[in-house]
Amino acid sequence: MSISVRQADTTDLDWVNQCYAAIDFTPSHSGELIVIASHNGQAAGLGRVVPLENGQGELGGIYVLDDFRGLGIASVVVDSLLQQAANTPLYCLPFAKLAEFYMGKGFAPLPADHNVPAVIENKHAWCNQHYAEPVLLLYRPAQRHASQ
């Protein structure tokens, strides 16, 4: 089994947004960090980090096409995004059933005194009104290395 990940470019945006439209996710735009995972040469999944104010970001849009589920592709996509955005504090708005997966990647519920950007608060509220499944708000601080 061969899973590879590459960074998407603007020529991939139509395919990316077709995938997101099919699952009722908000579309992507240029300027986002988008990765596409392939399994044996076929596009199998994707995800993104959307830049926010103050050098923060939102990890999201993690999606694996039906034919490739159960192969660990979501984990590879998230790991790739987290590696590329290691120095970026990240928010994540996962469906509640995926809490354990994201907590295993270093995300946690927000501390009570955390100042959440308005765009994330608004999206979290929208998601919980829009989707039948509950959506959580998780956070992962920047992963700074000792040498930095």
Which residue has tokens 């998407």? 8
DSSP string of 108-133, one letter each residue: EEPPTT----HHHHHHHHHHHHHSSS
21-40 pLDDT, tens digit each: 999 999 999 999 999 999 99
> Hey, is 26 helix, strand or coil?
coil
Question: With the CA atoms of 124, 8, 57 and 73 taken in that order, what torsion angle do they form, in degrees rounded to the nearest 10?
Answer: 70
Prediction pTM value: 0.92
pLDDT at 146 exceeding the cut of 70: no
CATH, domain 3-140, list 3.40.50.300, 3.40.630.30, 3.40.190.10, 3.40.50.2300: 3.40.630.30
User: What is the predicted pLDDT for the residue at 148?
Assistant: 43
Helix (H) or strand (E) holding 43: strand 42-51
57-86 pLDDT, tens digit each: 999 999 999 999 999 999 999 999 999 999
User: What is the predicted pLDDT for the residue at 52?
Assistant: 96
81-120 pLDDT, tens digit each: 999 999 999 999 999 999 999 999 999 999 888 899 999 9
Q: In what order do the strands lie in the sheet with 57-64?
A: 3-7, 33-39, 42-51, 57-64, 90-92, 138-140, 108-109
Does residue 63 contact residue 94 with C-beta atoms inside 8 Å?
A: no
Residues 6+ apart with CB under 8 A from 44: 3, 37, 38, 64, 65, 67, 68, 71, 73
